[in-house]
Amino acid sequence: MLLAVDIGNTQTVIGLYEGEELRFMWRMATSKPHTADEVRIKLLAYLSAEGVDAKEIRGAVLASVVPRLSASWVEACSRMLARDVLVVSAESAKSLFKTRYKNPAEIGADRIADAVAAVSLYETPVVVVDFGTATNIEVIDDEGYFIGGIIAPGMETSAAALFSHAARLSSIELVDPLVAIGRTTEEAVQAGVVYGEADRADGLIRRIFAELGYEAPVVATGGLSAAVAKASSLITEVHPELTLEGLRLIYANQ
């Protein structure tokens, strides 16, 4: 079995693969103060709940955008599995990841994993929109090179800012309200946030297509991808576990 860990700013997603099959997946809040011991205890609890012995895990691969947590997770996984952990970067993924980025070391590990999985599953050219704390758009051209993309505030990030600055608004579930004209405050906020995110994504994708000179399949991923994709006119595929799949592929090609 392979343990794949995607540490995001808000959530950490953990996947356990048996061969190419994602057998189990867990989401936990990203907690920056976590020590290696705390991480190991949480991991063991998840495995125990599914009846999995840590000795069955033969490898681990990690993507992180939270540098303060990376060392804790690497130490925890190394101690638990008695194996080295593959930390994803443009360098460690270079057998699958071609780029024309000016400074490849700047590219987030999650963006690298998304690009690798998208090329494997959908070929090239392809565009990935990852709806997370940030909305990341990755562009892979018709020669298979990651050429860059866009980073914007994520849907939940924007909604949280709205809720914190508007005294009469409280946290609202971000789902498709099915109407553009909200008849309640909840519907009005959902329309503004969900449809606003879909239209923003479509607008940015159109700019990307214009700059490329051709169109490409658009793959949505991330926890909120399904809700936004329904409201988008340009997203062609939804793959919520795309990042984990990229981690698996990078590990398998070492």
Catalytic residues: 110
CA 30 vs. chain centroid, Å, equals 13
Across the beta sheet with 126-131, the strand order is 98-99, 145-153, 134-140, 126-131, 218-221, 237-238
Euclidean distance between CA atoms 93 and 114, whole angstroms: 12
CA-nearest of 81, 74, 141, 132 to 108 is 132
Cβ partners under 8 Å of residue 197, min gap 6: 131, 135, 155, 158, 224, 228, 231
Residue type, position 247, single letter: L
Q: Do residues 218 and 237 make contact, with C-beta atoms less than 8 angstroms apart? A: yes
The secondary element (H helix, E strand) that includes residue 181 is: none
Is residue 58 within 8 Å of 43, Cβ to Cβ? no
Alpha carbon of 153 to those of 2, 84, 136, 161, 171: distances in Å? 32, 34, 9, 10, 18
User: 21-29 and 98-99: which strand pairing?
Assistant: unpaired
